[in-house]
């Protein structure tokens, strides 16, 4: 490892020497050994790993190819020069496997780093944060506190969904037991050999006899409540800003056969209703349209915009030919931050434009749908 870091420092210094005076070198590095072991990456057959991102020299449509490290087989790296005029910018990026004409994107949220106008070595990561499979069975106990403001309704079921078996994202069959003190728990066996090491995402769902009143008072921008089934997604917006698609995570450690997670809050503090007229946050100083997240996305994404004052708003999505394919908001919105989810149906992969018209201004950004 010491030799590798020394070589990286030399490479960065060399890159800085030949680079223009107004650029800085950034070293990207990703460990592909686990992907090779499971047959998802085969450089012998011509597979490549590339990096794409949000700030030049990265972009979401062109490839910057990484090459295998001389000192560390299985680790792929590249050095890119960033324009120092972008100092202070948060750069989003992902690693992508290119196999023939097929692309395999990392399925995790976009990676980020803060470009500060100086040479930088990014942390070594595993592709998709996948470091191989566990070597022994692990029993994980999940605990959640039912602290929703359900004054006129009753939560009668609590389920959990997640990214690794026995969890899945498709149904509410994995249910927790009501402990009778406001907490719910379940212990699940994650089998050896098929459970990924590292970060595993999960999220709770609850079933209630009637809709919680907070949805009528604060609204339901993330469409967490389903009128037809009375199931609702856990609300994590206070913990993760306005990200409707945020998940909880834990680190799978197969050195211990049992793992009990700390008590999760079903409904984070400060999101709920303090009184009948909760104090609104201060209005933003200028109108803004944020980059959708995640991006690229499949199957859904979220778009956030900010208003300095109450204003008629139109937020619509267009294809590159200028045809409107969706209207996400059309009406008066109050000052503050608003997040709207979008799950396109019957649309092909490609670049789409989303356009905000409000406060006499028009702001437009692009996003990439991958299927």
pLDDT, tens digit (0-9, with 9 covering 90-100), for 325-339: 999 888 887 787 787
* The residue to which tokens 């026995």 are assigned: 166
Fold of 2-129: Immunoglobulin-like (2.60.40)
Domain 2-129 matches domain 288-369 at the CATH topology level:
yes
Fold of 138-265: Immunoglobulin-like (2.60.40)
Number of CB atoms found within 10 A of residue 27's CB: 18
> How far is the CA of 230 from the CAs of 36, 211, 212, 223, in angstroms?
44, 7, 10, 12
CA-nearest of 250, 224, 243, 252 to 297 is: 243
- Selected from 3.10.250.10, 2.60.40.1930, 1.10.645.10, 1.10.390.10, the CATH number assigned to the domain covering 288-369 reads 2.60.40.1930
User: Sign of torsion, CA 87 88 89 90?
Assistant: positive
| Confidence at residue 331, expressed as pLDDT on a 0 to 100 scale | 82
Q: Is 3 a residue whose pLDDT tops 60?
A: no
Do the beta carbons of residue 41 and residue 127 sit within 8 Å?
Answer: yes
Rounded to 10 degrees, the C-alpha dihedral 142/147/150/156 comes to 20
Rounded Cα distance between 235 and 175, Å, is 18
Q: What would the mean pLDDT of 206-216 be, rounded to a whole number?
A: 86
Q: H-type helices in the chain, by residue range?
A: 2-18, 33-37, 214-218
Q: What would the mean pLDDT of 63-72 be, rounded to a whole number?
A: 95
Do the beta carbons of residue 65 and residue 48 sit within 8 Å?
Answer: yes
Give the pair of three-digit tokens for residue 232.
């609702």
Do the beta carbons of residue 250 and residue 194 sit within 8 Å?
Answer: no
Q: Hey, where are the domains in the chain?
A: 2-129, 138-265, 288-369
Reported as half-sphere exposure (CB side, CA atoms, 13 A), residue 218 has a value of 27
pLDDT band at 149 (very low <50, low <70, confident <90, very high): low
Q: Is 146 a residue whose pLDDT tops 80?
A: yes
Backbone angles phi, psi at 337, to 5 degrees: -100, 140
| Confidence at residue 76, expressed as pLDDT on a 0 to 100 scale | 98
| Confidence at residue 21, expressed as pLDDT on a 0 to 100 scale | 57
Which tens digit of pLDDT belongs to each residue from 273-296? 333 333 344 567 789 898 887 788
pLDDT band at 241 (very low <50, low <70, confident <90, very high): low
Which tens digit of pLDDT belongs to each residue from 180-197? 888 999 999 999 999 988
């Amino acid at each position: 490892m010491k030799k590798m870091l020394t070589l990286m420092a030399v490479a960065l210094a060399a890159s800085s020497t030949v680079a223009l005076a107004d650029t800085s070198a950034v070293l990207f590095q990703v460990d592909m050994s686990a992907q090779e072991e499971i047959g998802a990456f085969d450089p012998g057959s011509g597979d490549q790993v590339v990096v794409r991102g949000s700030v030049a020299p990265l972009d979401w449509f062109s490839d910057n190819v990484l090459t295998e490290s001389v000192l560390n087989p299985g680790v792929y790296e590249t050095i890119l020069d960033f324009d120092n005029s972008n100092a202070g910018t948060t750069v989003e990026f992902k690693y992508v496997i290119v196999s023939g004409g097929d692309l395999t994107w990392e399925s995790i949220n976009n990676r980020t780093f803060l470009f500060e106008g100086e040479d930088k070595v990014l942390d070594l990561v595993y592709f998709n944060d996948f470091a191989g499979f566990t070597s022994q069975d692990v029993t994980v106990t999940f605990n959640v506190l039912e602290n929703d403001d359900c004054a006129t309704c009753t939560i009668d079921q609590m389920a959990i969904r997640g990214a690794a078996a026995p969890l899945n994202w498709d149904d509410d069959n994995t249910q927790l037991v009501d402990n009778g003190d406001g907490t719910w728990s379940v212990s699940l066996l994650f089998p050896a050999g098929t459970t990924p090491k590292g970060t595993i995402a999960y999220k709770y769902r609850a079933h209630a006899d009637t809709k919680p009143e907070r949805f009528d008072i604060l609204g339901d921008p993330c469409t967490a409540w389903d009128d037809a089934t009375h199931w609702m997604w856990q609300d994590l917006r206070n913990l993760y800003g306005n990200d409707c698609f945020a998940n909880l995570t834990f680190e799978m450690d197969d050195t211990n056969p049992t793992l009990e997670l700390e008590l999760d809050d079903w409904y984070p503090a400060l999101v709920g209703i303090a009184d009948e007229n909760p104090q609104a946050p201060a209005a933003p100083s200028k109108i803004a349209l944020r980059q959708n997240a995640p991006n690229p996305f499949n199957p859904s994404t979220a778009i956030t915009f900010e208003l300095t004052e109450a204003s008629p708003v139109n937020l619509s999505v267009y294809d590159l030919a200028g045809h409107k394919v969706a209207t996400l908001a059309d009406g008066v919105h109050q000052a503050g931050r608003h997040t709207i989810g979008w799950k396109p149906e019957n649309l092909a992969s490609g670049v789409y434009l989303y356009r905000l018209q409000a406060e006499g201004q028009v702001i437009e950004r692009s996003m990439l749908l991958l299927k």
